[in-house]
Structure 1
Amino acid sequence: MIMQFIKNVGFVLIALMAMTSCEKEFLNEANPNGVSTDIYWANLEETESTLTSVYGGMLNTYLLNIPAENLRADMAFPRERTRITGAGVPFYYQQFNSSNSTIGDKWDACYQVAFRANQVIEALQKLEGSVDEDRWVLQMAQARFLRGLVHHYLHSTFNEGRIIIRDKVPQSLADFNKPVASSEEVIAFFRDDLKYAYDHLPATYPPGNEGRATAAAAATVLANSYLYEGEYEEAKTLYKDVIENPDYGLELVEDMNLLWTEAGEFNKESIFEINYTLDFQLEDSQFDEESFNSRLARFTAPINLGGGGQETFTPVAWLTHAYRTEKMDTLDDRNYVVGDDGQTRLRTATLRTSAMMAMVDDLDTPYYLQAFAARAANFARLTFTYLKKYTNHDIVADEGETGLTGWKSGRNVVVNRLAEVHLNLAECQIKTGEIDAALANINAIRARWGLILLGPSTTPDRTFDGVAYDATSLMNRLMYVEKPLELSFEGHAIRAIDLRRWGITQQRFRELAERKFSVVDYDYTAEDGSTVTHRESLLVEGEATPSGTPIVEYELTAENYNPDVHAYYPIPLGEVQNNSSIDN
């Protein structure tokens, strides 16, 4: 497996990285003791080792930056509502600037991947024509995919897309001191890489290569780049290939045992997935970005079950309420369970809600080896929802049982999956007047979850909402319901980028600041049959009643948000100070 290979070659690659990260003032002098690329990268085994280090760079949790990216959108709240502290506060309140270390860490993580990819690309260029061509092309395609991917990430989150193009390994101080390129130049650069990857990557790999980039991954990222620029026809062609090409073997998964669980890693819906593990180097610090475990379980698990930390985040009120009020299709047998009294009843939460979120009143879904969430989590400090996607809720009773500490998790991170492709294709179809086709893509996902379908009825065995959607109403539905509920907290800054490109970020914060929610007590039955109360744990919409506690969100965020300052991250201060060609 690729992860096993990462471990085997890691010590060599770390040494190489140490060599190439010397102080800049020495870079314009030849190092007689250094490892020459002509000596080290002499065959495809050695370039494969370095390629594995490029994938290893994707393990850096700051590359996707999941806590901050969702806090600066409309998805997450920093830590507990009775103790608003931690690294996420500047992002939630839109107070970040170029000196923020998290922003600098994301910038560095992306360029580290680009640096390693350039090592592989240049080494392969020297070997071209003298080695096995098929292996050479496969390595080159993966390296160019990963280089294009991180440039796409940087372009979509920093400085209105004006970032540095790193297309070669720096050999001198001048190579480090590069100016930013225009947004158009950056797009052309990373699309060229992604197109090469799409044309040359395989549809699948033999078993044991899980985590490697495929043609479907390249098509998805390339299509996203077209979608982000409003180039809908180009995006549609690629999205349809990902959905319809049988060679990829992709499908929407319906088995809840395979959705955000250990058993479901690399399932048939996954397009690109970062492979974490607890099988190696547990002695590494949890803050070592070269380690093979993730901190995301720590940041999203309940405090009494191993969660906590400066980057803790929880789902916000509007999102929780949207999940709680989704309507089940009563014609779908999966929505019925047998209660403790032996009678058949509807589930207390939809299948989608149960798979993605832990709520106090979901009585039908196990959580941390308890029968339901209320028996496992304490729902304290006005916390009414916990995110499941990055936790080990399915295999242990406490996060501390996984990697000897709650800080270390082996749970994979799915970056792109087929549901995202269906929804993005639906957006393209809405924009090009294909409303029925867009409804079909949205309903394919809703049907998977046993939810009421959208639009006029087309079959008697499903329930439809009967609404005659047009382009405006269906786009609103996609923006405010379908996409955020299906892809919450996933991928690379999906929600923040969507809000920005749809031009609704500021409006969204203002609307959410006006919405009224509160939490009330919730009673549940303990294992011994006694009644237990979770104080202030059940979210309801509306003005707080005498028995409820108001939930206040987004008021200061709405005041602070300035699109000229916060729509994109600034170039980090460290880059500005150390790169003489940056004029920001």
Structure 2
Amino acid sequence: MKNYKSYIIGLIALVGALQSCVKDSYLEEVNPNAVSSDNYWSNLTESEENLTSVYGGLLNQYLWNSEVEALRSDLAFPRERTRPLNYGYEWHSQSFTNTISTHYFKSWNALYRVIWRANQVIDGLNGMDETFKSQERWTTQMAEARFMRGLMHFYAHSTYNHGEIIIRDKIPTSSEEFSKPLSTSEEAIEFFRTDLQFAYDNLPNTQTQKTRVSKGTAATVLGKSYLYTEEYDLAMPLLKDVIEGPYGYSLLTGDDVSLLFTHAGDYNAESILEINYTDQHARLIQTTDSWDEEAYTTRWARYTAPTNLGGGGTSYFVPTSWLTYEYSNEPVNPNDSRNYISGTNIAKSVPLRCAQMIAVVNDEESTYYNKTPGYEATTFSGTVFSHFKKLTNHDIVGHEDEVLSTSWASGKNMIVYRLADVYLMLAECLIQKNDIDGALGYINAIRNRWGLMLLGADDGTGTFNDVTYTKETLMDHLMYLERPLEIGLEGYAERANDLRRWGVTKQRFEALAAKEYNVVNYNYTKADGTTGKGSLIQEGPTVNVKTDVNTEFDDAAVNFIESVHAYLPLPTDEYLYNQEVN
């Protein structure tokens, strides 16, 4: 059962927050609807309500931009390969600019809206007397607010303007205070790490409300920030603390892996940070406004469900060819009983990780939108041969319209961070420290829970692939297989940031442009020997020009320029209204 109480309180406390980019005249007027720390903070209950509005800012779909970030990495394509959607293709082909899309303005503003609210809480708490400041509740609230402020600056630094961003450490009270110059990348890092360290030092190990951040959440983000700057000795203790510390996290294993990315698996033991959307609260307040960015619903199911089951829109996206093929063809552990149809020695048609992450025509065992197999629910025809499952309601309804009478409003939670990411980050640190056996241990823990073939020397059981890994070959496996297959569509711009920080984005696009796959419509042959249920991705040159998928990355390979596309540019509005940036 999801915890809605905090959000209902937060709805009352939500205020008209200042966006990063506003006209000077706004700052010269008194907003009668704004909550001022001067007259609001009389006790910690009131400050708690305003803290809830900080969490409410995370509901904004533009903050996460999952569709855009998937498209500008190597994970997603804008629907049909032979006639891609124009909007999505601007991102996928690396031809975007800071003037073509509202995403720049809205994403940047969503980050700074949360920062504004966090600063309001911080100012209010600092203004309380010592009676309140001596209480543990005050310290926890301050740590939560500073975590959120640090997290948003970390995201902005990781994504925009080569890390040279605006540091907002207080609420501006005049146009002069609003106009701030860009920080250096180093200044931004120092600022957000100070906030994250405070959060790590002062947050409780666990929170009663699962929607709230804890010490383990702070350790995850702080560790990730050190990984991003290749400070492995500083990252590893934090990541180990997340895994071994008193936070209650554990990998889902055995049959429990089927809970991942389902409604039944909300806030499971692997979850570290999760955005709590819900269709139930939307029903309660009788709203299905899919464009209200502080509503409890998202549009991502609309953008990823099959078109005959409620999918559609200009932001529609599907898994890329290489991703679909790799999910479908991962070697499995022959000794894991989960890889066989129950009570038989007949192997399942696709690996467990594939079945949980994406829908493909050759998955004959999984239920998809109340149909088993999934091809009874949708056709997988032409060059649309797979669909992402993570952001849809395929596990609870037969059509996305059944959630809230419109496929534009979905209550599916979004996973930001979970323990599997921490395992893989720690494995990366160990690879870079040349501890190959240690890294294999963490990677194989992930693979073992999916019933996949383990990596490394054969132990005589047939469960290992008998490959001797070096620092270079294991890092390649991590970069190009394990991380994208395990945590794709999670986090904040996770895949684009990974490719950039590894310095391999253009190389990756060029390599994928050179790969050859083909699909023949209605080529899949079912277990009973009949055909005609949809397209199956295969290796090899294109057989039919109408189903050509081999041009997916041709434009991206040519267009991508490290200095232009690795980071997003500042939105034009920041130049227009911030005199210190202009």
- Shared topology, TM-score over 0.5? yes
User: 2 CA distance for matches of 1:145 and 1:90?
Assistant: 34
Amino acid at match of 1:25: S
- Say if 1:298 and 1:312, in contact at 8 Å, map to a contact too: yes
Could you tell me which residue of structure 2 aligns to residue 153 of structure 1?
155
1:567 aligns to 2:575 (yes or no): no
Which deviations, in whole Å up to 9, do the C-alpha atoms of 1:69-126 show, x marking residues without a partner? 1111111001333431243221101111111211221101100000000010000001
Could you tell me which residue of structure 2 aligns to residue 495 of structure 1?
495
After TM superposition, give the deviation of residue 64 of structure 1 in Å.
1.3
Could you tell me which residue of structure 1 aligns to residue 328 of structure 2?
324
After TM superposition, give the deviation of residue 2 of structure 1 in Å.
5.2
TM-score (norm 1): 0.94
Which deviations, in whole Å up to 9, do the C-alpha atoms of 1:127-166 show, x marking residues without a partner? 1513261110110111111110010000000000000001
After TM superposition, give the deviation of residue 494 of structure 1 in Å.
1.2
Could you tell me which residue of structure 2 aligns to residue 435 of structure 1?
436
| Structure 1 pair 226–373 and aligned structure 2 pair: CA distance change class (3 A) | same
Amino acid at match of 1:151: H
After TM superposition, give the deviation of residue 523 of structure 1 in Å.
4.7
RMSD (Å) for aligned C-alpha atoms: 2.2
1:295 aligns to 2:299 (yes or no): yes
Could you tell me which residue of structure 1 aligns to residue 145 of structure 2?
143
1:543 aligns to 2:547 (yes or no): no
TM-score (norm 2): 0.94
Worse-matched range after superposition: 146-155 or 127-136: 127-136
1:359 aligns to 2:360 (yes or no): yes
1:396 aligns to 2:403 (yes or no): no
Could you tell me which residue of structure 2 aligns to residue 345 of structure 1?
346
Secondary structure of 1:88's match? helix
Matching of residues 516-527 of structure 1 within 5 Å? 516-520=516-520, 521-523=522-524
| Structure 1 pair 251–549 and aligned structure 2 pair: CA distance change class (3 A) | closer
Secondary structure of 2:532's match? strand
1:182 aligns to 2:184 (yes or no): yes
Worse-matched range after superposition: 3-12 or 305-314: 3-12
| Structure 1 pair 18–10 and aligned structure 2 pair: CA distance change class (3 A) | farther
Identity of aligned residues (%): 46
| Structure 1 pair 53–545 and aligned structure 2 pair: CA distance change class (3 A) | same
Worse-matched range after superposition: 96-105 or 214-223: 96-105
User: 1 CA distance for matches of 2:43 and 2:250?
Assistant: 34
- Say if 2:10 and 2:56, in contact at 8 Å, map to a contact too: no
Could you tell me which residue of structure 1 aligns to residue 194 of structure 2?
192
Aligned length: 573
Amino acid at match of 1:485: L
1:554 aligns to 2:574 (yes or no): no
Could you tell me which residue of structure 2 aligns to residue 52 of structure 1?
52
| Structure 1 pair 413–534 and aligned structure 2 pair: CA distance change class (3 A) | same
- Say if 1:144 and 1:194, in contact at 8 Å, map to a contact too: yes
User: 1 CA distance for matches of 2:348 and 2:570?
Assistant: 48
User: 2 CA distance for matches of 1:33 and 1:395?
Assistant: 40
- Say if 2:216 and 2:247, in contact at 8 Å, map to a contact too: no
Amino acid at match of 2:389: K
After TM superposition, give the deviation of residue 575 of structure 1 in Å.
1.1
Amino acid at match of 2:218: A
User: 2 CA distance for matches of 1:159 and 1:18?
Assistant: 21
Secondary structure of 1:171's match? coil
1:115 aligns to 2:116 (yes or no): yes
Amino acid at match of 2:540: G
User: 1 CA distance for matches of 2:421 and 2:147?
Assistant: 19
- Say if 2:27 and 2:174, in contact at 8 Å, map to a contact too: yes
1:214 aligns to 2:218 (yes or no): no
Which deviations, in whole Å up to 9, do the C-alpha atoms of 1:6-65 show, x marking residues without a partner? 223414423x53899985325246678975422222211111111101000001111111
Structure 1: which 5+ runs fail to align? none
Matching of residues 16-415 of structure 1 within 5 Å? 16-17=16-17, 24-28=24-28, 36-99=36-99, 100-131=101-132, 133-206=135-208, 209-254=209-254, 255-280=256-281, 281-338=285-342, 343-415=344-416
User: 2 CA distance for matches of 1:183 and 1:497?
Assistant: 15
Amino acid at match of 2:225: S
Amino acid at match of 1:298: R
After TM superposition, give the deviation of residue 534 of structure 1 in Å.
3.1
Could you tell me which residue of structure 1 aligns to residue 448 of structure 2?
447
| Structure 1 pair 129–464 and aligned structure 2 pair: CA distance change class (3 A) | same
After TM superposition, give the deviation of residue 344 of structure 1 in Å.
3.0
- Say if 1:519 and 1:548, in contact at 8 Å, map to a contact too: no
Secondary structure of 1:87's match? helix
Secondary structure of 2:415's match? strand
User: 1 CA distance for matches of 2:458 and 2:576?
Assistant: 61
User: 1 CA distance for matches of 2:482 and 2:200?
Assistant: 28
User: 1 CA distance for matches of 2:231 and 2:34?
Assistant: 46
User: 2 CA distance for matches of 1:235 and 1:18?
Assistant: 34
Secondary structure of 1:289's match? coil
User: 2 CA distance for matches of 1:441 and 1:124?
Assistant: 41
Which deviations, in whole Å up to 9, do the C-alpha atoms of 1:561-581 show, x marking residues without a partner? 111110000000111111111
Amino acid at match of 2:566: A
Which deviations, in whole Å up to 9, do the C-alpha atoms of 1:371-393 show, x marking residues without a partner? 12111112234101100001111
Which deviations, in whole Å up to 9, do the C-alpha atoms of 1:199-228 show, x marking residues without a partner? 11111122xx12110111100100010000
User: 2 CA distance for matches of 1:155 and 1:19?
Assistant: 17
| Structure 1 pair 581–23 and aligned structure 2 pair: CA distance change class (3 A) | closer
Secondary structure of 1:454's match? coil
User: 1 CA distance for matches of 2:20 and 2:356?
Assistant: 44
